[in-house]
Amino acid sequence: MSAIEALPTRGERRVAVHATPAGARAVRSGDPWLFDGSISRSGEGSVGDLAVVFDPDREFAGIGLFDPTSPIRVRLLHHGRPTDIDERWWSSRIDSALATRESLAADPGTTAYRLIHGENDGFPGLVVDRYADTLVAKIYTGAWLPNLRDVLRPLIERIGASRVVLRTSRALSSTSTEQAIGDGAVLVGDPPDGPIEVLERGLRLGVDVVAGHKTGHFLDQRDNRALVRSLADGVEMLDVFSSTGGFSLSAAAGGARSVHMVDVSGPALETAEANLRRNRHLAEVAACRVTSTRGDAFEVLEGMVADGRAFDLVVLDPPSFA
């Protein structure tokens, strides 16, 4: 049995959730979250059941995913008139998300991008990224586990993906099901035997979709990396919190004389250096001098100031400190 078949199945139960006046107004205005404090009373249900939200007049307000373990009690999938959350509904929502990415899908020079962007696409608490023929689904609530098959099957069919990897948020509560499946579980296809190679505006990148940060790569910085590339000709560049080297590679491809990467993670620096080597067929990258320092960024920067080091272009892209 494949791992996707081991995912829990959503029950047929529909949980009646009665919102307070303020909660009902929020739902009717399109808010994707209904907090426990905005609920006057609720039926019982399991994580991932469908919750039907009613206003104080017992009129339908919305329907979403129920999570009795979270302060975000319902993540809204649909607002307005009553509807069935069935195969046709999922397919329609997915097609809408894919239509937004048509220009990316048509670009052979970019094979890594976000297909489903959580609340922005009407899938609160879920993102799905594409890395060539691999899909990576990251969940921020266990309520998605019993519903993932409904999303992934039509996505696989439309994209032609050969592999699906599950990633889970650090904040996600560790239920027995989540522990059994685990962060980095391969739900469909064979486990990758190393980094997956993708393209970003023609540059080659190796991505660890199983254990890398986020879903493997910081896709949200693609346009900023392109900006750095456009500014890099002839500069000496400092890349602080360099992670897997996306900014350094972009600067090198843009004609930087040198790049110096700083990161506390040795494996991240090794990946960054490997990504630069992947692109040495480009004359600009081959000509760029690449150096790195492993260490605490703040201490390294203090040392550089004391030594009088100077750079033409500096990128600071720190991780979350929360």
**How much is the pLDDT for 179?**
52
CATH of the domain at 304: 3.40.50.150
Q: Are residues 65 and 92 part of one domain?
A: no
**How much is the pLDDT for 322?**
59
CA torsion through residues 198, 201, 203, 209, sign: negative
Indicate whether 181 belongs to any domain: yes
Q: How many CA atoms lie within 13 A of 243 on its CB side?
A: 20
pLDDT at 182 over 80: yes
Q: Give the span between the Cα atoms of 18 and 23, in whole angstroms.
A: 9
Bridge-based pairing of strands 313-316 and 289-294 is unpaired
Q: Are residues 92 and 194 part of one domain?
A: yes
> What is residue 121's three-state secondary structure?
helix
Q: Are residues 113 and 68 part of one domain?
A: no
pLDDT at 244 over 70: yes
Q: Are residues 194 and 107 part of one domain?
A: yes
Give the residue carrying structure tokens 């991505």: 207
Tell which of 30, 61, 79 closes a domain. Answer: 79
Tell which of 53, 79, 105 closes a domain. Answer: 79
Q: Give the span between the Cα atoms of 16 and 53, in whole angstroms.
A: 6
**pLDDT, tens only, 136-157:** 999 999 999 999 999 999 999 9
Q: Are residues 96 and 191 part of one domain?
A: yes
**pLDDT, tens only, 14-57:** 999 999 999 999 999 999 999 999 999 999 999 999 999 999 99
Task: Provide the whole-model pTM.
Answer: 0.92
DSSP secondary structure string for all residues of 123-189: -TTEEEEEETTEEEEEESSGGGGGGHHHHHHHHHHHHT-SEEEEEE-TTS---HHHHHH-TTEEEES
Indicate whether 322 belongs to any domain: no
Indicate whether 204 belongs to any domain: no
Q: Are residues 150 and 105 part of one domain?
A: yes
Indicate whether 321 belongs to any domain: no
The two tokens of residue 26 are: 């929020």
Indicate whether 119 belongs to any domain: yes
**How much is the pLDDT for 11?**
84
Indicate whether 2 belongs to any domain: no
pLDDT at 177 over 80: no
Q: What percent of the chain is helix, strand and coil (3-state, nearest 5)?
A: 35, 30, 35
Q: Are residues 93 and 66 part of one domain?
A: no
**pLDDT, tens only, 261-288:** 999 999 999 999 999 999 999 999 999 9
Strand (E) or helix (H) holding 61: strand 60-66
Q: Per-residue confidence at 176, pLDDT binned at 50, 70, 90?
A: very low
Indicate whether 211 belongs to any domain: no
- In the predicted model, what is the mean pLDDT of residues 90-97? 97
Q: Per-residue confidence at 3, pLDDT binned at 50, 70, 90?
A: confident
Indicate whether 252 belongs to any domain: yes
Percent of the chain with pLDDT over 90: 89
- Quote the domain boundaries for residue 161: 87-199
**How much is the pLDDT for 63?**
98
Tell which of 41, 56, 79 closes a domain. Answer: 79
Closest of 254, 300, 250, 311 to residue 275, by C-alpha: 250
Q: Are residues 108 and 193 part of one domain?
A: yes
Q: Are residues 104 and 178 part of one domain?
A: yes
Q: Are residues 72 and 113 part of one domain?
A: no
> What is residue 234's three-state secondary structure?
coil
pLDDT at 127 over 80: yes
- Quick count: other Cβ atoms within 10 Å of Cβ 161? 21
Is 235 in contact with 312 (CB distance < 8 Å)? yes
Domain count, the chain: 3
Q: Are residues 103 and 18 part of one domain?
A: no
Q: Are residues 19 and 51 part of one domain?
A: yes
CATH of the domain at 168: 3.30.750.80
pLDDT at 1 over 80: no
CATH of the domain at 16: 2.30.130.10
